[in-house]
């Protein structure tokens, strides 16, 4: 199999380059893209990428695989490269630290902005704040996000205004707390998002939903935030 | 750096609502004018002028011109603050965005002034 890899070492390279490698894959097995990277790293230990759980839970190995963002550990090679050529690049829109490793500071800064934790100014009950099954159900499709950044870095609005547009992942988490019956900071959360950039730069192109390795739909959550903002504003 | 200094409604919510309300007004105006032509398969200039210069239609046309200005500004400001980035224009990004928005403001002003002159027969 031919693998085309994005390579960049700021200590030695003036600019990034694509490096082509030929790799013999074991017969009879459909490897994941991460397995291919492991084989390549065995040949060249200088190849850099992030990885941890290798089962789509930690979100470390998000990268651009044949033009589409995804997790290397859960993307089968047969699906990513049906024509036999695998092209691996770092997530777009974030500074590259080295090879496939990007600097996630801007992504986490936007995540932090939405206050991704429960805010409740009422007297805490003796044991815990209870939810009905119906209230708990409101969080389905929201809490499962693993912050891999595949969605946010496939969003042109984030590429253009990364310092102002929160991005799909951050907004999914923002709605996760707006939808939580135990949270009492809705007004504060919505006030933080009502400017022309934070939410309203989403044009609904749904790249986020298309690439999410957890099959979540940040676009739908963003639409619900917009509805809340408009209905509260009117 | 991109700021919201040129934002018409000052908040995303106001811009969002204004853009949609103005779109509805423009659609209704388009349907109204198109509907008149549909109902008058052989229109004459005199009949059109008589219909278009009626007070209610003049007010509607003025409203449509205002909607056009609002819709155009919000749309073009959004495009300007998305695409006119230092990545493409380097240190001239702010200048390029200023030219884009200045051109939009000038063109919008000309269209609205011209439209008002026609609607209210100010020439």
Q: To which H or E segment does residue A86 belong?
A: strand A85-89
> Which pLDDT tens digit goes with each residue over B54-72?
999 999 999 999 999 999 9
User: In 3-state terms, what secondary structure has residue A222?
Assistant: helix
Contact: A196, B12; criterion CB under 8 Å: yes
- ipTM score of complex: 0.80
pLDDT band at B121 (very low <50, low <70, confident <90, very high): confident
Taking CA–CA distances from B17, the nearest residue in chain A reads A230
| 3-state SS class at A76 | strand
Residue A226 in contact with partner chain B when CB distance is under 8 A: yes
Name the residue facing B12 among A157, A200, A234 (closest C-beta): A200
How many Cα atoms occupy the beta-carbon half-sphere of A210 within 13 Å?
A: 10
- Angstrom CA distances, B15 to A194, B11, B42, B66, stand at 10, 6, 41, 14
So what's the pLDDT on residue A26?
Answer: 87
pTM (predicted TM-score): 0.90
> Inter-chain contact B82–A201, Cβ cutoff 8 Å?
yes
What is the C-alpha to C-alpha distance for residues B64 and B77, in angstroms, rounded to an integer? 20
Q: What is the pLDDT of residue B5?
A: 61
Question: pLDDT value at position B9?
Answer: 62
A30 at B interface, C-beta within 8 A: no
The answer to whether A198 faces chain B, any CB pair under 8 Å, is yes
Residue among A156, A161, A199 whose CB faces B2 most closely: A161
What pLDDT is attached to residue B122?
82
Cβ-Cβ contacts under 8 Å, B83 against chain A: 160
Q: Mean per-residue pLDDT for A13-26?
A: 94
């Amino acid at each position: 199999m031919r693998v085309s890899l994005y390579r960049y070492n700021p200590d030695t390279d003036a600019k990034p380059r694509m490096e082509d490698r030929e790799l013999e894959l074991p017969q009879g097995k459909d490897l994941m893209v991460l397995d291919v990277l492991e084989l390549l790293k065995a040949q060249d230990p200088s190849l850099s990428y992030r990885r941890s759980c290798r089962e789509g839970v930690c979100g470390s190995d998000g990268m651009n695989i044949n033009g589409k963002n995804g997790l290397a550990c859960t993307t089968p090679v047969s699906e990513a490269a049906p024509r036999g050529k695998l092209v691996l690049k770092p997530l777009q829109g974030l500074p590259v630290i080295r090879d496939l490793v990007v600097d996630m500071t801007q992504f986490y800064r936007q995540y932090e902005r939405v206050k991704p934790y429960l805010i409740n100014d009422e007297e805490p009950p003796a044991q815990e704040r209870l939810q009905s099954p119906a209230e708990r159900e409101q969080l389905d499709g929201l809490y499962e996000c693993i912050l891999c950044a595949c969605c946010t870095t496939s969003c042109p609005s984030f590429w253009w205004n990364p310092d102002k547009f929160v991005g799909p992942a951050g907004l999914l988490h923002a709605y996760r707390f707006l939808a939580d019956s135990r949270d009492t900071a809705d007004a504060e959360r919505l006030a933080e998002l009502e400017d022309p950039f934070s939410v309203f730069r989403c044009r609904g192109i749904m790249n986020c939903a298309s690439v999410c390795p957890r099959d979540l739909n940040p676009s739908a959550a963003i639409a619900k935030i917009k509805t809340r903002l408009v209905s509260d504003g009117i | 750096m991109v700021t919201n200094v040129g934002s018409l409604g000052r908040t995303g919510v106001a811009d969002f609502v204004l853009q949609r309300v103005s779109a509805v007004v423009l659609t209704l105006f388009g349907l109204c004018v198109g509907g008149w032509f549909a109902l008058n398969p052989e229109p004459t200039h005199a009949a059109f002028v008589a219909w278009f210069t009626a007070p209610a239609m003049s007010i509607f046309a003025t409203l449509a011109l205002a909607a056009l200005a609002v819709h155009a500004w919000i749309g073009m400001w959004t495009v300007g603050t998305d695409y006119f980035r230092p990545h493409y224009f380097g240190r001239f990004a702010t200048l390029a965005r200023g030219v884009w928005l200045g051109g939009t403001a000038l063109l919008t002003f000309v269209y609205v002034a011209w439209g008002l002159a026609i609607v209210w027969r100010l020439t």
